[in-house]
Structure 1
Amino acid sequence: MTEGFHPKPRVGFPSALALGVNGLDEVVELELAERMPVAELFQRLCDDNQPGLAIKSVMLLPEGFGKAQLSRADYIITVPDTVDVDAAQLAIKQLKAKDSVSFERKNKTVTVDTSQIPKIEIHGDELRLSLAASQSASLRPGDVLDLIDASDWIEKGSVISRTRVVLQKEFESSDPAIIATALPGQCPSEPTS
């Protein structure tokens, strides 16, 4: 727990999820008061049965591994039926041709390098987008929608889902003392009857 007048559990995310954005493959770091077997922690988290939350895996990181740092986040944004896809494709092509872009955030003009957008493409009824993390201002999906003249997509029913969080430094192991992974049907996101 944190210290002070309002102690809270020590829980951290390498990248906060914006309000209204679905998170389909998120990373959360928990600092425990006492060490416990990874399989027991996995089962406790599953047994908590939070609606809409499915635990995919739990990993015990080695001492000194450090906090998770975001490298990239991947998104899928549904394309509303009423959108002129050809116009959106042209706006994406024009965006890719630029070295930098500027947008407004909190009444300030922010300029970023377009290398923060390693992937942006329309595939069927989805806009697939990857955004690289930056030490300075980082782009958000809403910023990119603004940059391609699609700021009205959300009003038209578009849904933003973050499909993957990629960390700068990943820890990998197959040791069952270090990692517990859900089997099919284990730890479902909705209660079963």
Structure 2
Amino acid sequence: MSNVTEPSEPTDSTNTAPNELASLRIRYRVRFQKTGLLRWISHRDLAGLWERIVRRAALKLSMSEGFHPKPRIAFPSALALGVEGLDEVVELELAEAISPHELLERLEADNQPGLTIKSVSQLPEGFGKGQLKQSLFSITLPERCDTAMIQTAIKNLLSQTTVSVERKKKTLVANVAEQILNLELSDDRLQLTLAASASASLKPHDVLDLMGFEDWIENGSHIIRERVILETEFQSNNSAEVAHATNATNNITTEY
């Protein structure tokens, strides 16, 4: 699936001693889009794809310790199979210091179909790791749906205190008000905001099932995660800390 472009030359690190280079752990937060056919790869495959992209970009990865070192690549939240993501997050730890702009260029050069880099931020030392706070979804409606029935289902679900969902042969109980922060019908789709939870976190498919719309996906509905909100967001207007892609858009309309 890859369309690989030769990466630019690695940053010159001749002035950095080997022991200093080995001890470097500089963290970058990358926001990206996963669209088109790429939405059909699993989270495990996405993680493997990112590792290959970083290696093709000739970046010096920071590795974990132990008998089986692994690159320090972390995702605050996995994206379910078949769901598009317009604002996903991956955090990379490198054993070299390069500018966010250069890292952005190297990642973009891989030209992976369906994967669009939106921005790269170099996080300050000691900045907290990305932890999911909220996810904003939109769900397209199937053809010939009854909007009055949808409004009634929304009202009935939001009126409940707790709901139960089955997952991996276990019954999980979730607090509706704490986890469903927004659920409304807007134009041709449902807008859904879910809060992350340390226990039983609801997913968009759970919400559809609880509303009695478990057949929506097979009838042509699509789930899109439009935004990922982290517990600790990094914001800066300093170009030395954040680089934004010029060709990335906040919303991508995909034809299925």
Q: Same fold (TM over 0.5)?
A: yes
Q: 1:105 aligned to 2:163?
A: no
Tell me which residue corresponds to 2:228.
Answer: 165
1:142-153 alignment runs, 5 A limit: 142-153=205-216
Q: 1:22 aligned to 2:81?
A: no
- Given that 2:118 and 2:248 are in contact with CA atoms closer than 8 Å, whether structure 1 keeps it comes out as no
Q: Which runs of 5+ in 1 are unaligned?
A: none
Letter in 1 for 2:225: R
- Cα distance in 2 for residues equivalent to 1:51 and 1:3: 33
Tell me which residue corresponds to 2:125.
Answer: 63
- Cα distance in 1 for residues equivalent to 2:69 and 2:224: 31
- Cα distance in 1 for residues equivalent to 2:157 and 2:203: 15
Q: Which residue, 231, 234, 241 being the options, matches 1:178?
A: 241
Tell me which residue corresponds to 1:12.
Answer: 74
Tell me which residue corresponds to 2:96.
Answer: 34
- Cα distance in 1 for residues equivalent to 2:247 and 2:165: 43
Q: Residues 4-58 of structure 1: CA distance to partner in whole angstroms, max 9, x if unpaired?
A: 6665432111110011100111111011121112111111011111111111110
Q: CA RMSD in A?
A: 1.8
Tell me which residue corresponds to 1:122.
Answer: 185
Letter in 2 for 1:139: L
Q: Offset at 1:132? A: 0.4
More helix by share: 2
Percent of residue pairs bearing the same amino acid type: 57
- Report the TM-score, using the length of structure 2 for normalisation: 0.69
Higher RCO (C-alpha under 8 Å, 6+ residues apart): 1
Tell me which residue corresponds to 2:202.
Answer: 139
Q: Which runs of 5+ in 2 are unaligned?
A: 1-62
- Report the TM-score, using the length of structure 1 for normalisation: 0.91
